[in-house]
Structure 1
């Protein structure tokens, strides 16, 4: 059995990072109501029933309509508040074609050039939610044909001004903004006919100038690239042939690459942003490829995917926006609503490794997509009950401080080690130990008197997680369970296979 010693004298300090690193998205379509990804069946989630996609027609049928989300729901607000302050991003593909109808003049029908309508009450619900968690608001704005009715076809700021002014006057100002969600994926729904990289560069520059002239405290964020499967990142070996059979369908959706766009932007962003999903979910696998098999979700290559992507984008950030923080403004296991295992304990390994490695590479924020929508939400989107990822992030936010440390000789195959200062401000360190081996336990030395918070599950595909052996669940009145540690007596403990442990020393 391998052994790791938790020796704080061998640690080196890497950096201090944003305490709001674990933040999240609320999709605009959640706010307005509209289509989003259809949930998987219980059998598909457990792995007992395959998800079969027969082509593009099936992919379109993988969505269904949802009513506007009640962001004032007591359980939703209480669970979000328990996570602590966060950046809240309201965006997504639907934000690019949403009309802001704060006067109630449309009757719910989107004007020409738009596809959906945001009402005053719906936006007030967003602002109240952000205020209730002591959060910070990031948005993207519309860029569809409806905001290009200008003589030269350039972007018209009138709708954006309405959104920014209303939010400021309500007392919950927008604090950061991307111009458009995923601008490299241009469609008739999110941009006018004939729109390309040159037009986008022109309009993002205009948007950033608009912000700096009228709302100088707002952070300009970009380029919001979304490039799944970029060179230098790991790929599935189990699905290698199936992914190859899908060809370049995903790449063909790109109107341009972020690397090609950056030299054309004159107004530099304050924050460098991109999106990262490890792959494409089962909903689009046979059409778009880039799908990982569930059997690979605890493999080192899969767990290194987000870290590899960050390493790929870092040189671009350094060249064009040196020293700017990096915001991953959408991140989850897989695009198109998440994989069948996104709502299970199996996905917690990815979440732990992404958060742990990100702070070692740079300072910034990861916006999980989403808080409470589709299968990748931290909360179930039907009743807002917590999923395993929620419990992990709750522990992360309570335990992990802002100072990042690294012991270069600690990580090995199947074992991932991340170290932070203590969130409670006391001297000492918090060690996050991710044993992603399915079969091998590991001995940890140097832990006498430490506190252990250990997550496990009866099965990796379980929708429940255990803390020190006890299933985590809300009480009868939605009260959170006691998240008490076990005190370690003795100088060593054994971490079982498929376990995720915080040790406070």
Structure 2
């Protein structure tokens, strides 16, 4: 049944002001150092024409990974495309960061010290800092929390963190925020010492935050990096033990400045042995699209209990854990990304860190060519059109009409609407009472690697020259929203 909606005339109730760096992203520590990361899918798997081999258990996890060289953070295309997105937080973390040793003077000679799994060199970190500076980024990191950073009594030692904080500050790119560790709810996967308990985490995060507040008071403390919890019947691990965030936070004495969690709608095809996987033919469903909103509401309660008044940061966000689904690099995932952005802003102020900027199948950019994928164009258009003030449309979200309203990015009078028509087959009719400009994102087919703006392909010219991103003027009247599209409407 076709959805028909009439936009209201007059002013809308104001909800909140969002962080200007709402759209941020991850550059995984393993991208900086080089090392293992998720294997790339084959073209046939991306098209949905080839099955992804399934694993039996965790012992086979290594077969999902391959070794990659360090990301080319000096590549001009990557630099220009990151800069075009605008100011962002850049998170350097991931499970790999938990076991990485900072060798900023070369004293190891490339030999990994006992208690660590990898090394970060000065040259590698310099390139990352240069990248952050060029794109007007702010840096969020997670330090090591492995056997190699233990005091004799087993507590966490801040020496490695101090080293990288001081070095980055002296280089001219100070670190803005620290998240103590990556995904402490599943320490079995994260590289912490064996038998690391919730009490150990609370003690060590307190040590870290106290150290920062006493010595680096301008640095934001971020935590606990919640993940893996069954906040909805539509998500969760099958058999893996997950520590509840309440158990991690109950013993903490130092309150974080920012509450953080991770948000993946499911496990990817290759990670389906770990937990719930959603197939591609359900990627437009109300249940699937509602998962990030359920997460935001769930963690908002914990934020209010343990960090009242703090922002919420989704320090990793993507369609699926374990490197993304086969369709992560296609237009199909734009519907989810758009809806997560819009609905998150109705719940809380904060930041969403897309995982990743240019690694694996869920990256904004292709790993090899650094050409932008469909989700990059969505982020770019959002940042060009949607202002930081959020308003309440007063309309229920339903299939065919997920509508979110912000101020205009240019500061002019009027509103910027983003309407997601998630119906795979039905158009929606939108009655618009004023003139405006329309920008509709679509694709020739859902798993297309190419995205269209008002029917025309969005493509770079030269190294990194962006197209004009021009909208189409519309008069007051009825606007037809095609199935499986994201439409931005900027009103006069």
Contact 1:234/1:304 (8 A) holds in 2: no
2:269 aligned with 1:279: no
- Map residues 51-450 of structure 1 onto 2, 5 A cutoff: 51-56=52-57, 59-148=61-150, 150-187=151-188, 190-228=191-229, 230-232=230-232, 234=234, 248-250=238-240, 252=241, 254=242, 256-285=243-272, 287-409=273-395, 411-446=397-432, 448-450=434-436
In structure 1, runs of 5+ residues without a counterpart are 236-242
Inter-partner Cα distance in structure 2 for 1:44 and 1:158? 45
Contact 2:77/2:463 (8 A) holds in 1: no
Shift of 1:200: 1.2
Shift of 1:147: 0.5
Contact 1:435/1:499 (8 A) holds in 2: yes
Shift of 1:386: 0.4
* Secondary structure of 2:405's aligned partner: strand
Runs of 4+ in structure 1 off by over 3 angstroms are 56-59, 231-235
TM-score (norm 2): 0.97
Inter-partner Cα distance in structure 2 for 1:347 and 1:392? 10
Inter-partner Cα distance in structure 2 for 1:380 and 1:307? 28
Contact 2:3/2:400 (8 A) holds in 1: no
* Secondary structure of 2:231's aligned partner: coil
Shift of 1:426: 0.4
Shift of 1:412: 2.4
Contact 1:447/1:493 (8 A) holds in 2: no
TM-score (norm 1): 0.94
**Alignment match, 1:239:** none
Shift of 1:290: 0.9
Cα distance, 1:489–1:140 mapped onto 2, change above 3 Å: same
**Alignment match, 1:495:** 481
Which whole-Å deviations, capped at 9, do the CAs of 1:298-354 have from their partners, x for residues lacking one?
011111100011111111111111111000111100000000010010000110111
**Alignment match, 1:475:** 461
**Alignment match, 1:240:** none
Contact 1:448/1:492 (8 A) holds in 2: no
**Alignment match, 1:238:** none
Contact 1:17/1:403 (8 A) holds in 2: yes
In structure 2, runs of 5+ residues without a counterpart are none
Inter-partner Cα distance in structure 2 for 1:180 and 1:430? 37
* Secondary structure of 1:393's aligned partner: helix
* Secondary structure of 2:345's aligned partner: helix
Shift of 1:194: 3.0
Inter-partner Cα distance in structure 2 for 1:317 and 1:487? 42
Which whole-Å deviations, capped at 9, do the CAs of 1:193-225 have from their partners, x for residues lacking one?
332111111111000011011101000111111
Inter-partner Cα distance in structure 2 for 1:276 and 1:260? 19
Shift of 1:447: 5.2
Contact 2:76/2:463 (8 A) holds in 1: no
* Secondary structure of 1:146's aligned partner: helix
Cα distance, 1:135–1:8 mapped onto 2, change above 3 Å: farther
Contact 1:300/1:414 (8 A) holds in 2: no
* Secondary structure of 1:352's aligned partner: helix
